[in-house]
Amino acid sequence: MSKYALKPDELKKEFEQKKPRILKGDLAGKEWWDLPVEFRDGNWCFPGKPEVLEEIGLPNPRKWAATDEDWKLPAGWENTIRDGMKSRLKRFRSFKLFMDTCVRCGACADKCHFFLGTGDPKNMPVLRAELIRSVYRNDFTLLSKLLKSFSGSRTLTPEVIKEWHMYFNQCTECRRCSVFCPMGIDTAEITMMARELLNLIGVNNNWILAPVANCNRTGNHLGIEPHTFEQNIMSLVDDIEELTGVTVNPTFNRKGAEILFITPSGDVFGDPGVYTMMGYLLLFHHIGLDYTISTYASEGGNFGMFTSNEMMKKLNAKMYHEAKRLGVKWILGGECGHMWRVVHQYMETMNGPADFLEEPVSPITGTKFTNAKSTRMVHIAEFTADLIKHGKLRLDPKRNDHLRTTFHDSCNIARGMGMFDEPRYVLNKVCNVFHEMPENTIREQTFCCGSGSGLNAEEFMDMRMRGGFPRANAVSYVREKHKVDSLVTICAIDRASLPTLMRYWNPGVNVYGLHELVGNALVMEGEKKRTEDLREDPMAGFGEGADDE
């Protein structure tokens, strides 16, 4: 276990003591602005390294830590924040509206996974927004200037900045609160604005900025250079050959391919993401897809989204740029959460129009993806669901009989895109045992893994395990009720963070990508007898002596 988190038993004890309350501590007679902000091990991420900031041209590079008394803010930082707010209020109707229209009804209060896991009142979405609203009211609205204590406004101080840094980095931009808000206020939008503002004065997070710098230079978060990127996928090709006897042939940076395939680099390098990558490779080989993978646009994810709009656009621009250079017809995207929020809701607005591409048509089934006819990028789950519906895949779901699955909706796919049924359709076709988690924890009400939006840092472990508690708790429900042992996701950050969360709360539950299960179930032409899944775990009923059909 991480030194940055409590032991599970200690955290359980904390929960036992306060039940049935979610709020922690006695708050009678206290007001939120009087509650102290305490940075301690496990609740803050290391700040951006000076060299990283210099590489991507962000202001105020210096060595500092959240626990320092003096954060070495740049001269005139108050004006930078104020002007930054002003310009964003002008450019984003959303930001202005969300500052103005909250009635503080409290419907969002117990919807946030960080609030449910910490009981910290400032993790109620309404108070998270009030942290910035209180300053907004002080600086930008007439009535509140006159009646300060009446409207709960306060002046901008270094303490406020510390508070912002703490709580806007205890929000994973998952949008669950916005589902319940009668005004449709989206805390993700407010957090994005707050993080932009904080970045203006050099208050930041290395776990976000280092991937941003890497992605800018090498094309992917991990900073993998082209030759290594290619080698790594080729080693997966070797693994596939060893396991199945089939040789798949991915190509790289190939001009004239029909489809450009882009997936998060976590699928190329991380465990268990690589097994999902193997699933993609098997699938594309199975249907004979004419596709290529780019080493330049080798990242689906976009940590620019957690930094600023400009950074998001800068990193995202590579996708269209590369698609144009290679002359592909359309782009196919792998399993990822925030990548798809960017692709679905931002990409074409930022870097379009995509008139150099064609309207996506599945070369195998002839299906026109009319819902993507302008952005011209298709989600792999849509693509695969269509293949299965048309009977183009030879699948043997029994090959996943060693797994009892449940499905975790990724926040961004769920609430920023609205894709719920395609992955479920695919999952039900490739495995025989699938149980949904409780109603209030799936689909549009799904809980975040607790580590999204660039908070997957080791040093943030305490918060991650708390923030992931509601998700883990729903998994333990189906585990007890249906003996579920496999958590299937379509998000690379989930694949990176949920294994840790499961080890902490539900030891014995493993995390899978959807296309890993597709890869397991695919009956390939010319394959050898399969007894192990892509992880080299034995399949049920396929071992030595078992009847082959």
Partner 1 sequence: MKKVLMPLVMVALLALVPYLGVAFGKLDYLFGVVIPYAAVAILLLGILFRMVDWLRRPVPFRIPTTCGQEKSLDWVRQDKLESPSTPWQAALRVLSEVLLFRSLFRNTKAELHGGPKLAYGSDKWLWLGGLAFHWSLLVVVLRHSRFFFEEPPMPLQVLENMDRFLDVTVPALYLSGLVALAAATFLVLRRFRDEKVRIISLPADFFPLFLIIGIVIAGISMRYFDKVNVMPVKALTLGLAGFSLDAPSPIGSLFYVHLFLVCVLFVYFPFSKLMHMGGIFLSPTRNLPNNSREKRHVNPWNPDIKFRTYAEYEDEFREKMKKAGLPVEKQ
What is each CA distance from 421 to 270, 384, 409, 425, in whole angstroms? 27, 12, 10, 6
Longest pairwise C-alpha distance within the chain? 83
Minimum CB–partner distance for residue 258 and partner 1 (Å)? 17
* Residue (46 or 477) nearer to partner 1, CB: 477
Q: Residue 116 or residue 488: which is nearer to partner 1 going by CB?
A: 116
Query: Closest CB to partner 1 among 126 and 403?
Result: 126
DSSP 521: H
Say if residues 203 and 210 touch (Cβ distance below 8 Å).
no
- Nearest to partner 1 of 417, 433 (CB atom): 417
- Asked whether 102 and 177 are in contact (CB, 8 A), the reply is no
When the beta carbons of 347 and 403 are compared against partner 1, the nearer one is 347
As measured in angstroms, the least distance from the Cβ of 538 to partner 1 is 33
Residue 377 β-bridge partners? 331
d(C-alpha 344, C-alpha 305), whole Å: 13
Q: How far is the CB of 80 from partner 1 (least distance, A)?
A: 18
Its sign, for the CA torsion 376, 379, 384, 386, is negative
CB of 356 to partner 1, least distance (A): 14
Find the shortest distance in angstroms from Cβ 540 to partner 1.
Answer: 30
- For 232-239, the CB contacts below 8 A with 24+ separation are 232/268, 232/269, 233/268, 233/277, 233/281, 233/293, 236/268, 236/274, 236/277, 236/278, 236/281, 237/281, 239/278, 239/534
Q: How far is CA 170 from CA 44, 81, 473, in A?
A: 9, 20, 19
- Supply the minimum distance, in Å, between the C-beta of residue 50 and partner 1: 21
Show the DSSP H helices in 327-420 as ranges: 338-341, 348-351, 380-389, 411-415
Task: Report the nearest approach of partner 1 to the CB of residue 432 (Å).
Answer: 22
Residue entry with tokens 């017809």: 329
Decide whether 372 or 534 has the Cβ nearer to partner 1.
372
Quote the least distance from Cβ 69 to partner 1, whole Å.
Answer: 28
Q: Which lies closer to partner 1 via its Cβ, residue 96 or residue 398?
A: 96
Nearer to partner 1, 308 or 497 (CB): 308
> Strand order in 330-333's β-sheet?
291-293, 259-262, 330-333, 377-379
| Nearest distance, CB of residue 549 and partner 1, angstroms | 29
* CA dist., res. 267 & res. 493, Å (int): 10
CB 261 within 8 A of CB 280: yes
Comparing CB distances to partner 1, the nearer of 129 and 534 is 129
